[in-house]
């Protein structure tokens, strides 16, 4: 089954996978497309998808932070960051942009601004569902405070890689994953804080609505 794809007037292709994508297939497809962007023959792309349950390790991952009692597949991702979980109920957005040029309010060749822009994009998307996403110094990703418990938890993770200034990998937003699966790792190497989802915050929303919000909020940043 082929992905659904749509081109914007800015030359960005939005691609939506209709079925779960095995992680090795995603890496291979991203690598090929990044090469095509770099060679000047392909449009930039945001790829929205879902993976089967798995763990990935970034370049800073500590092997001691992996427990994996369920025996999920593990993959070395090659992106920045540490251990993260992907699985059903989580929206992954792989972002393939040529960062040698400016994108909205993100200047050319500014990795920090690009990461900040991805966080702003997620924060704007969460706001569309009445959720206040926040940054935390020293912690990449987007965090929320549970109004009932006051507990601070991560709702969206972020990890990127650049190849000759073309970005790949991206972000993962928790809609309604099995949060118990996160017990198999120390998420992003951060102890003392939880992981949450829109559903755990009492917000029931389907993937199509999240995809629409991601696309709508993209132009506010990029």
Which residues, 6 or more positions from 53, have their beta carbon under 8 angstroms from its beta carbon? 70, 72, 85, 86, 87, 88, 178, 181
Catalytic-labelled residue, pool 13, 64, 116, 188 = 188
Determine the pLDDT at residue 189. Answer: 72
Q: pTM of the full predicted structure?
A: 0.94
Domain ranges of the chain: 4-221
Instruction: Give the number of C-alpha atoms closer than 13 A to the C-alpha of residue 218, restricted to the C-beta side.
Output: 21
Q: Which of 43-47, 76-80, 208-212 has the lowest mean pLDDT?
A: 76-80
Catalytic residue list contains 188: yes
Tokens 């000759």 belong to 164
pLDDT, tens only, 2-13: 687 877 757 899
Determine the pLDDT at residue 148. Answer: 73
Residue 95 has pLDDT above 80, yes or no: yes
**Domain 4-221 listed as CATH 3.30.930.10:** yes
């Amino acid at each position: 089954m082929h992905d659904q794809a749509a081109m914007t007037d800015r030359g960005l292709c939005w691609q939506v996978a209709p079925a779960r994508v095995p992680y090795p297939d995603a890496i291979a497809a991203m690598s090929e497309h990044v090469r095509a962007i770099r060679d000047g023959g392909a449009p930039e792309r945001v790829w929205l998808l879902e993976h089967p349950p798995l763990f990935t390790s970034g370049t800073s991952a500590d092997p001691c932070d992996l427990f994996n009692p369920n025996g999920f597949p593990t993959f070395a991702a090659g992106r920045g960051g540490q251990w993260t979980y992907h699985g059903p109920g989580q929206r992954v957005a792989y972002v393939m942009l040529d960062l040698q040029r400016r994108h909205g309010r993100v200047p050319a060749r500014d990795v920090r601004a690009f990461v900040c822009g991805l966080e702003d994009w997620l924060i704007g998307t969460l706001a569309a569902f009445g959720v206040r996403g926040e940054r935390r110094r020293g912690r990449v990703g987007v965090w929320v405070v549970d109004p009932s418990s006051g507990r601070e938890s991560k709702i969206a993770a972020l990890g990127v890689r650049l190849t000759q200034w073309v970005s790949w990998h991206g972000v993962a937003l928790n809609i309604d994953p099995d949060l118990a699966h996160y017990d198999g790792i120390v998420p992003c190497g951060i102890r003392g804080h939880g992981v949450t989802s829109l559903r755990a915050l009492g917000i029931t929303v389907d993937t199509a609505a999240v995809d629409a919000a991601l696309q709508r909020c993209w132009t506010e940043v990029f």
